[in-house]
Protein backbone atom coordinates (compact mmCIF):
# COMPACT_ATOMS: atom_id res chain seq x y z
CA UNK A 1 0.00 0.00 0.00
CA UNK A 2 2.88 2.40 0.67
CA UNK A 3 4.08 2.15 -2.92
CA UNK A 4 0.54 2.84 -4.13
CA UNK A 5 0.35 6.00 -1.99
CA UNK A 6 3.88 7.25 -2.66
CA UNK A 7 3.59 7.15 -6.45
CA UNK A 8 0.71 9.69 -6.74
CA UNK A 9 2.15 11.71 -3.84
CA UNK A 10 5.34 12.13 -5.83
CA UNK A 11 3.38 13.13 -8.96
CA UNK A 12 1.32 15.59 -6.92
CA UNK A 13 4.36 17.44 -5.55
CA UNK A 14 6.21 17.42 -8.86
CA UNK A 15 3.06 18.64 -10.63
CA UNK A 16 2.88 21.59 -8.23
CA UNK A 17 6.39 22.65 -9.17
CA UNK A 18 8.35 21.16 -6.29
CA UNK A 19 11.70 20.05 -7.67
CA UNK A 20 13.17 18.82 -4.40
CA UNK A 21 11.43 16.82 -1.69
CA UNK A 22 11.51 13.72 0.49
CA UNK A 23 8.34 11.80 1.34
CA UNK A 24 8.54 9.30 4.21
CA UNK A 25 5.81 6.67 4.56
CA UNK A 26 6.78 4.68 7.63
CA UNK A 27 10.43 4.41 6.65
CA UNK A 28 9.82 3.79 2.94
CA UNK A 29 10.90 6.84 0.99
CA UNK A 30 10.63 8.73 -2.26
CA UNK A 31 13.14 11.50 -2.92
CA UNK A 32 13.34 13.91 -5.82
CA UNK A 33 15.95 16.53 -6.48
CA UNK A 34 18.60 17.29 -3.92
CA UNK A 35 18.79 18.73 -0.43
CA UNK A 36 18.65 22.57 -0.26
CA UNK A 37 22.43 22.96 -0.68
CA UNK A 38 22.50 20.72 -3.76
CA UNK A 39 23.70 17.59 -1.95
CA UNK A 40 22.18 14.14 -2.47
CA UNK A 41 19.73 12.89 0.16
CA UNK A 42 21.51 10.67 2.71
CA UNK A 43 19.30 7.78 3.71
CA UNK A 44 20.19 5.66 6.72
CA UNK A 45 19.60 1.91 6.65
CA UNK A 46 18.95 0.59 10.14
CA UNK A 47 21.09 -2.15 11.64
CA UNK A 48 18.61 -5.03 11.92
CA UNK A 49 20.00 -6.14 15.27
CA UNK A 50 20.62 -2.74 16.87
CA UNK A 51 17.75 -0.26 16.65
CA UNK A 52 20.01 2.54 17.88
CA UNK A 53 22.52 2.12 15.02
CA UNK A 54 22.72 2.40 11.28
CA UNK A 55 24.09 -0.41 9.13
CA UNK A 56 24.80 1.73 6.06
CA UNK A 57 23.96 4.99 4.29
CA UNK A 58 22.74 5.65 0.77
CA UNK A 59 23.33 8.94 -1.07
CA UNK A 60 20.52 9.31 -3.60
CA UNK A 61 18.76 11.75 -5.92
CA UNK A 62 15.37 11.10 -7.51
CA UNK A 63 14.56 7.57 -6.43
CA UNK A 64 12.51 5.38 -4.11
CA UNK A 65 14.08 3.45 -1.22
CA UNK A 66 12.14 0.72 0.60
CA UNK A 67 13.37 -1.61 3.35
CA UNK A 68 11.75 -4.75 4.72
CA UNK A 69 13.15 -6.65 7.68
CA UNK A 70 12.53 -9.10 10.46
CA UNK A 71 13.22 -6.54 13.20
CA UNK A 72 10.18 -4.23 13.43
CA UNK A 73 7.15 -6.47 13.85
CA UNK A 74 8.27 -9.67 15.53
CA UNK A 75 8.29 -11.69 18.71
CA UNK A 76 10.71 -14.23 20.13
CA UNK A 77 9.54 -17.70 21.12
CA UNK A 78 11.92 -20.43 22.23
CA UNK A 79 14.91 -18.43 21.00
CA UNK A 80 13.41 -18.11 17.51
CA UNK A 81 12.30 -14.89 15.81
CA UNK A 82 8.81 -14.83 14.34
CA UNK A 83 8.08 -11.85 12.11
CA UNK A 84 5.46 -10.61 9.66
CA UNK A 85 7.10 -11.51 6.32
CA UNK A 86 5.86 -14.98 5.47
CA UNK A 87 7.35 -17.27 2.87
CA UNK A 88 4.43 -18.50 0.72
CA UNK A 89 6.27 -21.80 0.10
CA UNK A 90 6.44 -22.72 3.79
CA UNK A 91 3.79 -20.57 5.45
CA UNK A 92 6.44 -19.53 7.98
CA UNK A 93 8.41 -16.32 8.44
CA UNK A 94 11.25 -15.99 5.93
CA UNK A 95 14.61 -17.19 7.26
CA UNK A 96 17.14 -16.12 4.57
CA UNK A 97 17.49 -12.46 5.53
CA UNK A 98 17.42 -9.96 8.35
CA UNK A 99 16.84 -7.03 6.01
CA UNK A 100 16.38 -6.13 2.34
CA UNK A 101 16.60 -2.62 0.92
CA UNK A 102 15.61 -1.93 -2.68
CA UNK A 103 16.28 1.22 -4.69
CA UNK A 104 14.53 2.17 -7.93
CA UNK A 105 12.30 4.67 -9.66
CA UNK A 106 8.76 3.29 -9.27
CA UNK A 107 7.53 3.03 -5.65
CA UNK A 108 4.86 0.46 -6.58
CA UNK A 109 7.45 -1.83 -8.16
CA UNK A 110 9.87 -1.31 -5.27
CA UNK A 111 7.17 -2.10 -2.67
CA UNK A 112 6.64 -5.58 -4.13
CA UNK A 113 10.30 -6.19 -5.01
CA UNK A 114 11.63 -5.53 -1.49
CA UNK A 115 9.37 -8.16 0.06
CA UNK A 116 10.18 -10.66 -2.67
CA UNK A 117 13.93 -10.05 -2.30
CA UNK A 118 13.70 -10.40 1.49
CA UNK A 119 12.32 -13.93 1.11
CA UNK A 120 15.15 -15.10 -1.18
CA UNK A 121 18.73 -16.08 -0.48
CA UNK A 122 21.15 -13.20 -1.03
CA UNK A 123 22.35 -14.57 -4.39
CA UNK A 124 18.82 -15.14 -5.67
CA UNK A 125 17.74 -11.71 -4.43
CA UNK A 126 20.59 -9.88 -6.17
CA UNK A 127 19.90 -11.71 -9.44
CA UNK A 128 16.18 -10.95 -9.13
CA UNK A 129 16.87 -7.25 -8.53
CA UNK A 130 19.49 -6.88 -11.26
CA UNK A 131 17.24 -8.48 -13.91
CA UNK A 132 14.63 -5.83 -13.08
CA UNK A 133 17.07 -2.91 -13.17
CA UNK A 134 16.84 -2.34 -9.42
CA UNK A 135 19.53 -1.76 -6.82
CA UNK A 136 19.54 -3.54 -3.51
CA UNK A 137 21.24 -4.39 -0.24
CA UNK A 138 20.57 -7.73 1.44
CA UNK A 139 21.67 -8.41 5.00
CA UNK A 140 21.51 -12.18 5.26
CA UNK A 141 20.56 -14.22 8.31
CA UNK A 142 24.23 -14.57 9.30
CA UNK A 143 24.78 -10.80 9.16
CA UNK A 144 26.60 -10.77 5.82
CA UNK A 145 25.90 -7.82 3.54
CA UNK A 146 25.43 -8.20 -0.21
CA UNK A 147 24.59 -5.42 -2.67
CA UNK A 148 24.11 -4.91 -6.36
CA UNK A 149 27.09 -3.35 -8.12
CA UNK A 150 24.82 -0.46 -9.16
CA UNK A 151 24.94 0.83 -5.57
CA UNK A 152 28.72 0.73 -5.16
CA UNK A 153 29.18 4.49 -5.61
CA UNK A 154 26.28 5.48 -3.32
CA UNK A 155 26.22 2.89 -0.50
CA UNK A 156 28.66 3.03 2.40
CA UNK A 157 28.72 0.98 5.60
CA UNK A 158 28.25 3.04 8.75
CA UNK A 159 31.00 1.05 10.47
CA UNK A 160 34.14 1.12 8.26
CA UNK A 161 35.14 -2.34 9.49
CA UNK A 162 31.93 -3.83 8.07
CA UNK A 163 32.16 -5.34 4.60
CA UNK A 164 29.51 -5.05 1.91
CA UNK A 165 30.08 -7.41 -1.02
CA UNK A 166 29.02 -5.84 -4.33
CA UNK A 167 27.98 -8.15 -7.15
pLDDT digits (tens, 9 = 90+) for 55-81: 999 999 999 999 998 888 767 788 887
What is the model's pLDDT at position 77? 86
Give this prediction's pTM.
Answer: 0.91
What is the model's pLDDT at position 89? 86
Is 90 exceeded by the pLDDT of residue 27?
A: no
Q: Which residue has the higher pLDDT, 159 or 93?
A: 159
**pLDDT tens digits, 76-111:** 788 887 777 878 888 877 888 999 999 999 999 999
Spatial separation of the C-alpha atoms in residues 106 and 122, rounded to whole Å: 22
Amino acid sequence: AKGYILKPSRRFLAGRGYASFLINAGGDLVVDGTKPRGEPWRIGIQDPRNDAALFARLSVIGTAVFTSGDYERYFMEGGRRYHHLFDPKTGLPGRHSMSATVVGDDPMVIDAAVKTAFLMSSGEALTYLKTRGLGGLIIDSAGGAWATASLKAVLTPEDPSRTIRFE
